[in-house]
Structure 1
Amino acid sequence: MTPELSVIVPTYNRSAVLARCIDALCRQTCDKAVFEIIVSDDGSQDDTAAVVEALAQRQPVAIRYLHQPNAGANRARNRAIGMARGRLLLLINDDTIAVPDMVAEHLAEHARHPQTHVAVLGRMTVSPEIAVSRLAPLHLDRAFVGLRDGAVLDWRAFFTCNVSVKKALLERGGLFEERMRYHEDLELAWRLSAHGLQVVYRASALGWHHHFLDEDEFLSIAAREALSLHTWAQLAPAARPMLASLGYEPAARGARRWRRRLLAIAVNRRTEAPWRWLARSLPPRPAPFRQMSLAIYDQLYQSRKRAALRRLQHRDT
């Protein structure tokens, strides 16, 4: 039987959480024959291959394994998409832990919306099995705030932590841009929007994010995001006005320019340590203290991102 849906899971050196991810997929309530799992390994040096092989031998779901020299998650995704047998593709990360009905909810939503241009976004939030990071509201949770169940959204809601799409749409609009290491899902979705992409949000297609985001990791994302925005702008100059909504504004003017200059005096790499200490020291309650802490972290992140964008712009002039 040809599977209806292929779950695409790129991975790199995270065999323990990958095992949780696969195990959760194998516990889905839907018929196990209607989907397959494709693990695309981006050159792992741990025991990922052995873990996947062991799971494949004892689980009722078809599990396929790909291995490539380390070249990035996007190439890993693209290779898996190329060999996927399902007409639907469910794109997740190796730390996405599916609730038992997640695959069934994606399948049901596509049955309600059979049009090629309709994708389905499932909800993601921090796993109850790990400590809650105070930075979660500034990262993954921020993307889902205010989303209404059943809402039809545009390309900006295409997040590869838990999104399903018709394979035929990718055959029309292209695959992941392998030169990007952040915002690659939005870059693909922006291209798919030219083919009418719409995203339906289904909160019950829930996945748990089994990853604790610490302070250093959160701030380190800023440079990666800046590089990806810069790359995107170079690849698609027509996208630059739109990229301002994602923080790509290397040449701010007027009042915004002066505001940035004042912020740069107050918040920069030299002053970062005391600001981090203050943000870390503020208690989570009452709420105003928590909001103040988040505001400080957000400014630290944006400061790093703007500085990285300036360096990239200077490099290319």
Structure 2
Amino acid sequence: MADMPRTNHEPDVSVIIGAYEAMPYLIRCLESVEAQTIGAGRLEIVAVDDGSTDGTGEYLEEFAARTAIPTRVVRQANSGGPSGPRNLGLKLARGRYVFFLDADDYFGEEALERMVAMGDRAGTDVVLGKIVGVNRGAAKSMWKETVERADLYTSNIKFTLSAQKLFRRDLLVRLGMAFDEKLKTGEDALFTMEAYLRGNGVSVVADYTCYYLVGREDRNQMTKKGGYQRRFDSARALMGLIADLAPAGPRRDSLMVRPFVITLLPQFGPGLVKQSDAVRRKKMALAAPLMDAHWTPELGRRLKVHERLRLTALAAGRLDLLLDIASFLRDKKEPEVIRRGDRILLAYPHYDEAAKGSVLPEHAYEVAVTEWVGGRRIEPPQRKPHVSFARRVVRKARRTVLSALRAPRAHRV
């Protein structure tokens, strides 16, 4: 959808900052907004202090009084999470685009100029700018190249669902989108995936570092807080959204990899071994309806063997098998690589029984994506395309007809 011409009262970007106990990180955050090469006249800042007690609110007000960027500061009682401040900021925003900037983090100087140019050129509703971690890790697989329109189903953009993106505000307003304030973790993944699925395309700016994701020394970050219940709530919400917006089939399966592997599976990793039996069984009970509703063997073919095995055991309700695999991973053991005809299998726990047709199915041990074992790269075999029986019959009939047509015809008498 084309934008209306920009007026003097409409900034290109509204930078929305939800801040809670953000000092001293907020100082560099705001400096990075002022340093944007897009220029102060094309920006506005909407900052919401979410009940801070460390001087965050006072610093925001001081900044607003002296900066050339139009800045609105709202101070409110603590809401308990990032969704409330972001939603309020979105309601107050006037820009063609909005960017949700965390108060701990900061921009590269050309970030907004490059991302706005990309969104305008490509006509897309979401623009991803390259993110790097500072004192913490950050996803890397989606920054291999700059693309005007990324394919959601075949690319890795589904593995970056944080809110730190440039969103076309018209999309958000038109769809009535907002962050789910009931979710205490994963609310940004839900919001971003909906924008990916319902918007007019996603662009990627990978040739410039747009965003610096900062690991706080005091570790006072929402992503590090909360118990396992919140992770299941997040997985349930994201799986439900994907099921609602993507028809069943390969494309849905490609998106479901994200909540299964990133949100659900870590709850059944090596740490499961040292947890109490009560916690383990509670986790199994929470996972059961998710597995029943959304797990498919076709989805499993998109995963590494140890991921597929754990989820297959989880779907079968077999805590005993899960614990055996989790112990194997905890002890950093390496599975034996077994080549059988045109298949490669990894002998994780219970492989011997599976090979005899019991316990977990043997195909669950089969390499279907790139694996690393003992420092060696293991690639899945390249299989010949499957030709159905019906197609073979048609081909044979076609050859028969062609042969008959080419045969010399008898002269009429």
Alignment of 1:97-176 (within 5 A): 97-115=106-124, 118-127=125-134, 132-133=135-136, 136=137, 141=138, 143-151=139-147, 152-154=150-152, 156=158, 159-160=161-162, 162-173=164-175, 174-176=177-179
The structure with the greater share of residues assigned to helix is 1
Letter in 1 for 2:128: L
Letter in 2 for 1:25: V
Return the match for 2:93 from 84, 92, 102: 84
Q: Structure 1 pair 199/228, CA: closer, same or farther in 2 (3 Å)? A: farther
Q: Given the two structures, how large is their TM-score scaled by the length of structure 2?
A: 0.54
The higher radius of gyration belongs to: 2
Higher relative contact order (CA 8 A, sep 6+): 1
Q: Structure 1 pair 193/162, CA: closer, same or farther in 2 (3 Å)? A: closer
* Distance (Å, rounded) in 1 between the aligned partners of 2:127 and 2:195: 14
* Distance (Å, rounded) in 2 between the aligned partners of 1:43 and 1:224: 25
Aligned-pair CA distance for 1:211: 2.0
Decide whether the 8 Å contact of 1:121 with 1:157 is kept in 2.
Answer: no
Aligned-pair CA distance for 1:220: 5.2
Return the match for 1:223 from 228, 233, 245: 228
* Distance (Å, rounded) in 1 between the aligned partners of 2:225 and 2:90: 29
Aligned-pair CA distance for 1:179: 1.1
1:262 counterpart residue number: 324
Decide whether the 8 Å contact of 2:163 with 2:191 is kept in 1.
Answer: no
* Distance (Å, rounded) in 1 between the aligned partners of 2:59 and 2:219: 30
Decide whether the 8 Å contact of 2:163 with 2:192 is kept in 1.
Answer: no
The 3-state SS of whatever aligns with 2:16 is strand
2:211 counterpart residue number: 207
Alignment of 1:235-274 (within 5 A): 238=243, 242=256, 243-248=259-264, 250-251=287-288, 252-254=311-313, 257=318, 259-264=321-326
Aligned-pair CA distance for 1:237: 9.3
* Distance (Å, rounded) in 1 between the aligned partners of 2:61 and 2:200: 36
1:69 counterpart residue number: 77
Letter in 2 for 1:211: G
Q: Deviations over 1:65-89 (max 9, x none)?
A: 1222211210110000001010101
* Distance (Å, rounded) in 1 between the aligned partners of 2:228 and 2:16: 27
Return the match for 1:7 from 12, 15, 19: 15
* Distance (Å, rounded) in 2 between the aligned partners of 1:236 and 1:160: 16
* Distance (Å, rounded) in 1 between the aligned partners of 2:242 and 2:36: 43
Q: Deviations over 1:172-225 (max 9, x none)?
A: 331111111222222113333442453211122512223247899887567375
Decide whether the 8 Å contact of 2:119 with 2:203 is kept in 1.
Answer: no
* Distance (Å, rounded) in 1 between the aligned partners of 2:262 and 2:146: 25
Aligned-pair CA distance for 1:47: 0.8
Letter in 2 for 1:14: A
Q: Structure 1 pair 210/103, CA: closer, same or farther in 2 (3 Å)? A: same
Q: Deviations over 1:139-171 (max 9, x none)?
A: xx2x22353222315272554453101111112
Aligned-pair CA distance for 1:41: 1.7
1:59 counterpart residue number: 67
Q: Structure 1 pair 19/265, CA: closer, same or farther in 2 (3 Å)? A: same
Letter in 2 for 1:180: L
Structure 2: any 5+ residue segments left out of the alignment? 1-7, 245-251, 266-286, 289-310, 332-372, 375-413
Aligned-pair CA distance for 1:45: 1.8
* Distance (Å, rounded) in 2 between the aligned partners of 1:202 and 1:233: 25
Q: Deviations over 1:81-107 (max 9, x none)?
A: 001010101122112211211111121
The 3-state SS of whatever aligns with 1:144 is coil
Aligned-pair CA distance for 1:61: 1.0
The 3-state SS of whatever aligns with 2:264 is coil
Q: Which range moves more in the overlay, 161-170 or 205-214?
A: 205-214
Letter in 1 for 2:234: L
Structure 1: any 5+ residue segments left out of the alignment? 272-290, 293-317
2:382 counterpart residue number: none
Q: Which range moves more in the overlay, 33-42 or 182-191?
A: 182-191
The 3-state SS of whatever aligns with 1:10 is strand
Aligned-pair CA distance for 1:235: 6.8
What fraction of aligned residue pairs are identical, expressed as a percent?
A: 21
How many pairs were matched up? 258
Q: Structure 1 pair 48/247, CA: closer, same or farther in 2 (3 Å)? A: closer
Q: Structure 1 pair 209/244, CA: closer, same or farther in 2 (3 Å)? A: closer
* Distance (Å, rounded) in 1 between the aligned partners of 2:71 and 2:159: 28
Q: Deviations over 1:88-134 (max 9, x none)?
A: 0112211221121111112111121224xx3111112123xxxx45x
* Distance (Å, rounded) in 2 between the aligned partners of 1:191 and 1:175: 10
Aligned-pair CA distance for 1:50: 1.2
